[in-house]
Amino acid sequence: MTRPIRVMMLGLRGFPNVQGGVETHAEHLCPRLAKLGCDVTVLVRSPYQPAEVSPMWNGVRFIPLWAPKSKGLEAILHSFLGVLYAAIKRPDILHIQAIGPAILTLLARLLGLTVVVTHHGPDYDRQKWGHFARTVLRLGERWGMRLSNGRIVISKVIADLVYAKHGVKSTLIPNGVVIPEIPTTMDALHEHGLIHNRYILLVSRLVEEKRHLDLIEAFSRAEIAGWKLVLVGASDHNDAYAGKVYAAAQQTHDVVLAGFQKGLPLHQLYAHAGLFVLPSSHEGLPIAMLEALSFGLPVIASDIPANLEVGLPDECYFRLGNVNELAKMMRKVVQKTRDDHSREARREFVASKYDWNKIAGETVSVYRNSMKKNSV
């Protein structure tokens, strides 16, 4: 009988129901790795891991390690502690999520660990980072891609970037979706004064690259009678950008700040929306867009490469930052008649391309190949 692969995962705040794309990715991936026979331990950041979640969840073991709740320091300090912990416990695979924590790849390799790094996107392009942080992130990408035993990227855009900048090949394994049951209940709608099929939705953290201000301005210019704009998500840290979003929402008629949502309320907000819009300037592979499609929603997105890679029809994309174009597209889409055939077609489209069970199996293959390389 083959011994289970002992996997230790690092580079995320925690899960389940913790805000963030990497967190959502790991929440879906880790239980499936466990079902495939992996012994999965996730090193989570103690300030973020939900207190109500037990140390063992769906076959996944959580080890909370201290981290400061600080935008600039939490990832690097937690990752440093995580690598030291892994060096003591000696897993078969240390799986580092994202290029920021991947700056610890060098230390992990020096300590004799077999390292797999997943590149979720060039985080140094995010608007929130200053010069020093961008330098650290670029170094994390460089070491993570060049020094790891296995490299996973979530989109072809990132695969091409990695090869062009670092001369190494990577394994493309995208994010996935779970095709949900459509809830018929509407408690979350009632709580926020919303009407079925009469609101536009964005689900994301309150960070600059998501371009909430563009969307609020476009909604104001569109002047769509009887519709509301709902922004689901919160800021991990009180900062100037979040303040600007709150102020713009308060000054614009029919904009609803729903805060961070999870579970059934979030599903209700997805299921009963009339349109999902993602105006972002930076994505790896947008999980929120895939989730919107899994509920059958029509989608409008900015024309950045990661969004284009999802493969929606051309009329679903607008030029990044073009508020007038976005306003016109929103007016056009909301005037269309909703039909069950279109909804199911979107659900089938995303289900065929982004299956979590297939993703988990491909990830295990990367683990096995990385272990072989490190044993040679």
The Cα–Cα gap between 94 and 48 comes to: 21
> What pLDDT does residue 129 have?
75
The domains of the chain are located at 6-176+355-375, 187-353
Name the pairing type of β-strands 56-57 and 60-65: antiparallel
User: Are the CB atoms for 362 and 171 separated by under 8 Å?
Assistant: yes
Looking at residue 132, its amino acid is F
3-state SS string for 199-256: EEEEECCCCHHHCHHHHHHHHHHHCCCCCEEEEECCCCCCCHHHHHHHHHHHHCCCEE
In this prediction, residue 71 has a pLDDT band, given cuts at 50, 70 and 90, of: confident
Report CA-CA distances (Å) from 235 to 12, 239, 337, 353: 16, 8, 35, 31
For 201-254, the pLDDT digits (tens) are: 999 999 999 999 999 999 999 999 999 999 999 987 778 899 999 999 999 999
Calculate the alpha carbon distances from 35 to 86, 110, 126, 175 in Å: 22, 31, 35, 18
Q: At what angle do helices 212-222 and 240-251 cross, to 10 degrees?
A: 10
- According to DSSP, the residues that pair with 117 across neighbouring strands are 96, 151
Residue 174: phi and psi, rounded to 5, are: -75, 170
- C-alpha span between 357 and 32 (Å, rounded): 7
Bridge partners for 302 per DSSP: 318
Burial of 50 (0-12, 13-18, 19+ CB in 10 A): middle
Span 245-297, pLDDT tens digits: 999 999 999 999 999 999 999 999 999 999 999 999 988 888 899 999 999 99
Q: What is the CATH number of domain 187-353?
A: 3.40.50.2000
Question: What does pTM read for this prediction?
Answer: 0.82
Structure tokens belonging to residue 149: 């035993």
Question: Which amino acid does the sequence have at 63?
Answer: I
CB proximity list for 337: less than 8 A, separation 6 or greater: none
pLDDT tens digits, 81-111: 999 999 999 999 999 999 999 999 999 999 9
H/E stretch holding 362: helix 356-375
Q: Residue 249 has which token pair? A: 């929402």
* Three-state SS at 119: strand
Contact 274, 327 (CB under 8 A): no
Among candidates 175, 183, 170, which has minimal Cα distance to 29?
175
Query: Of 118, 102, 122, whose CA–CA distance to 306 is shortest?
Result: 122
Residue 25 vs residues 129, 175, 176, 355: alpha-carbon distances, Å: 23, 7, 8, 12
The SS3 assignment for 26 reads: helix
Q: Do domains 6-176+355-375 and 187-353 have the same CATH topology?
A: yes
CA–CA distance, 297 with 294 (Å, rounded to integer): 8
State the Cα–Cα distance between residues 301 and 320, nearest whole angstrom.
Answer: 9
- Looking at residue 224, its pLDDT comes to 95
Check: CB of residue 348 under 8 Å from CB of residue 168.
Answer: no
Q: Tokens for 182? A: 């459509």
| pLDDT confidence of residue 239 | 80
Whether CATH 3.40.50.2000 fits 6-176+355-375: yes
What's the pLDDT score for residue 3? 85
Q: Give bridge partners of residue 300 from the DSSP assignment.
A: 277
| pLDDT at res. 340 | 79
d(CA 296, CA 271): 8
Question: Which segment of 56-70, 206-220, 252-266, 336-350 scores lowest on mean pLDDT?
Answer: 336-350
Tens digits of per-residue pLDDT, 284-306?
A: 888 899 999 999 999 999 999 99
More confident residue, 44 or 342: 44
What pLDDT, on a 0 to 100 scale, did the predictor assign at position 376? 57
Cβ neighbours of residue 131 under 8 Å, at least 6 residues apart? none
Helix (H, G, I), strand (E, B) or coil at 121: coil
